[in-house]
């Protein structure tokens, strides 16, 4: 069984949508805007996609809740004819086959009676026809009841759908706040054309004054 904390393939589109939204956040967009060629943005996006599971793990609890609600909703809206076995096909086909067979037997028996055929065959065919007609009627009612039950369940599935959508939105928000934005901000790379000078700590981009650059001496207080 797959680890519940790992991102499911069908949730990959949501992950990429959150990534796209995060890349458009003001501070990240401004930082990436220093590279007009877009290489920094492409690198950051590729890095996030390469670390999908690590980023998704930050929102593990809401993701598990989302999966549980989605699984419950799918089970709830699955009707009695959707069991994944041969039963649905049998329930639907039985009244059709029985009704067709009953009509054929009754017609054959009636023709034999009209032809004054001797022996028990005409009566046996008619009796079998009526038996099959009864089977067709009973199974038809069962099928109709099952279909009606399924329709009513699906009609009442809107609250379940709303719960799934709510859980999905909660997960996406947590993924953005706890996972995606912190990851992108940690891995923002300064524009390669910007020099870091001895005047500033290595993590800042404040240039030396012009006179200090000309004297080629470190800035001092």
Q: What is the pLDDT of residues 114-158, one digit of tens each?
A: 887 778 888 888 899 899 899 889 888 888 887 787 777 666 555
**Is 47 a domain residue?**
yes
Structure tokens at 125: 């065919």
**Is 219 a domain residue?**
no
Contact criterion met (CB below 8 Å) for 149 and 79 = yes
Report the number of distinct structural domains present in the chain: 1
- Pick left, alpha or beta for residue 200 (phi over 0 → left; psi -120 to 50 → alpha; otherwise beta): beta
Residues in the chain: 221
**Is 100 a domain residue?**
yes
Residue 142 CA: distances (Å) to CA of 41, 154, 175, 195 = 60, 18, 47, 79
Contact criterion met (CB below 8 Å) for 188 and 28 = yes
**Is 212 a domain residue?**
no
**Is 39 a domain residue?**
yes
Question: What per-residue confidence (pLDDT) applies to 86?
Answer: 62
Helices 158-174 and 60-77, axial angle in degrees (round to 10): 160
- Pick left, alpha or beta for residue 118 (phi over 0 → left; psi -120 to 50 → alpha; otherwise beta): beta
Segments of the chain scoring below 50 in pLDDT: 1-2, 191-221
- What's this model's pTM, rounded to 2 decimal places? 0.54
Question: What per-residue confidence (pLDDT) applies to 123?
Answer: 87
| Structural domain of 194 | 9-206
Q: Return the number of other C-beta atoms located less than 10 Å from residue 149's C-beta.
A: 13
Return the ∠ at Cα 99 (arms to 93 and 100), rounded to 5°.
90
Question: What per-residue confidence (pLDDT) applies to 159?
Answer: 67
Rg (alpha carbons) of the chain, rounded to whole number: 35
Helices 158-174 and 12-23, axial angle in degrees (round to 10): 50
**Is 136 a domain residue?**
yes
Question: What per-residue confidence (pLDDT) applies to 162?
Answer: 87
Structure tokens at 92: 């639907």
Sequence-ordered alpha helix ranges (H) in the chain: 12-23, 26-32, 39-50, 52-57, 60-77, 87-114, 121-155, 158-174, 181-186, 210-215
What is the share, in percent, of the chain residues with pLDDT greater than 70?
A: 72
Q: Return the number of other C-beta atoms located less than 10 Å from residue 171's C-beta.
A: 24
Question: What per-residue confidence (pLDDT) applies to 170?
Answer: 97
**Is 216 a domain residue?**
no
Using a 10 angstrom Cβ sphere, with 0-12 exposed, 13-18 middle and 19 or more buried, the burial of residue 4 is exposed
**Is 52 a domain residue?**
yes
């Amino acid at each position: 069984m797959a680890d519940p904390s790992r991102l499911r393939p069908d949730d990959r589109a949501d992950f990429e949508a959150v990534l796209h939204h995060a890349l458009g956040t003001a501070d990240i967009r401004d930082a990436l805007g220093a590279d007009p060629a877009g290489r920094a943005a492409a690198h950051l996006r590729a890095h996030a996609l390469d670390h999908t599971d690590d980023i998704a793990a930050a929102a593990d609890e809401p993701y598990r809740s989302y999966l549980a609600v989605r699984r419950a909703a799918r089970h709830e809206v699955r009707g009695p004819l959707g069991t994944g076995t041969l039963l649905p096909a049998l329930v639907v086909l039985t009244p059709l086959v029985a009704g067709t067979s009953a009509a054929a037997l009754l017609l054959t028996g009636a023709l034999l009676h009209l032809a004054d055929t001797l022996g028990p065959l005409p009566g046996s065919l008619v009796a079998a026809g009526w038996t099959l007609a009864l089977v067709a009627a009973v199974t038809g009612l069962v099928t109709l009841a099952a279909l009606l039950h399924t329709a009513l369940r699906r009609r009442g599935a809107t609250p379940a759908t709303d719960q799934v959508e709510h859980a999905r939105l909660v997960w996406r928000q947590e993924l953005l706040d706890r996972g995606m934005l912190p990851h992108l901000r940690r891995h923002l790379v300064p524009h390669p054309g910007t020099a870091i000078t001895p005047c500033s700590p290595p993590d800042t981009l404040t240039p030396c004054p012009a006179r200090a650059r000309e004297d080629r001496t470190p800035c001092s207080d």
